[in-house]
């Protein structure tokens, strides 16, 4: 998963390995979902923990009800205008099925806080990856980014 090529929303080549050593919150996002207001809490986490070696990374996905139909430019405009998002957003990807991105192929076997493992259930499913790159905690889409369990996983995963 660390070496799988991805592109930023601006089309620049990158990989998760470029963020190794930081605690990460990986989340599949969508602009037209009932859970889209979670962007507010995601950005708050970014602002609060960024200086401690943390980053949210958003992966737009249109696989759930067609709730991320826009272009990269549309997504960026929506996120910055409505939620002042500063954390990295990647290109639109698939998280389930035969076209699932390699990052999500590695993440989906993990069990979340409700006992679910396997396919991503909906938009805003979260994975907290500790700075050690090994400890990964999965949270259901309905678990908000500011839930105590998510905060604990982030704080426990911070470097140093």
CA atoms within 13 A on the CB side of 36: 15
Of 81, 23, 13, 80, whose CA–CA distance to 51 is shortest?
A: 23
- Catalytically annotated residue among 29, 33, 129, 154: 33
pLDDT (tens digit, 0 to 9) for every residue of the chain, 160 residues total? Answer: 999 999 999 999 999 999 999 999 999 999 999 999 999 999 999 999 999 999 999 999 999 999 999 999 999 999 999 999 999 999 999 999 999 999 999 999 999 999 999 999 999 999 999 999 999 999 999 999 999 999 999 999 999 8
For position 160, what pLDDT does the model report? 85
* Number of independent structural domains in the chain: 1
Give the pTM: 0.97
List of residues 6+ apart from 59 with CB closer than 8 A: 26, 27, 28, 29, 89, 90, 92, 93, 95, 101, 103, 104
What is the predicted pLDDT for the residue at 88?
98
Whole-angstrom Cα distance, residue 49 to residue 141?
21
**Which residue in the block uniquely carries the two structure tokens 């708050």?**
44
61 among known catalytic residues: no
For CA atoms 97, 99, 100, 105, the dihedral sign is positive
**Strand runs labelled E in the chain:** 5-7, 13-15, 23-29, 54-60, 126-129, 136-139
Domain that holds residue 51: 5-157
Q: What is the CATH number of the domain that holds 10?
A: 3.40.30.10
- The predicted pLDDT at position 150 comes to 98
């Amino acid at each position: 998963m660390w070496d799988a090529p991805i592109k930023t929303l601006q089309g620049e080549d990158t990989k998760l390995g470029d963020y190794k050593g930081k605690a990460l919150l990986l989340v599949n996002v969508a602009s037209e979902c009932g859970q889209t207001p979670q962007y507010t809490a995601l950005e708050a986490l970014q602002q609060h923990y960024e200086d401690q070696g943390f980053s949210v990374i958003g992966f737009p996905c249109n696989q759930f009800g067609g709730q991320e139909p826009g272009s990269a430019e549309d997504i960026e405009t929506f996120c910055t205008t409505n939620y002042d998002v500063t954390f990295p957003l990647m290109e639109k990807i698939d998280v389930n099925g035969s076209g699932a991105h390699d990052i999500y192929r590695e993440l989906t076997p993990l069990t979340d806080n409700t006992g679910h493992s396997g396919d991503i259930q909906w938009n805003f499913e979260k994975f907290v990856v500790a700075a050690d790159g090994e400890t990964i905690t999965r949270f259901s889409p309905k678990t908000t980014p500011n839930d105590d369990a998510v905060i604990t996983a982030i704080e426990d995963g911070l470097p140093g």
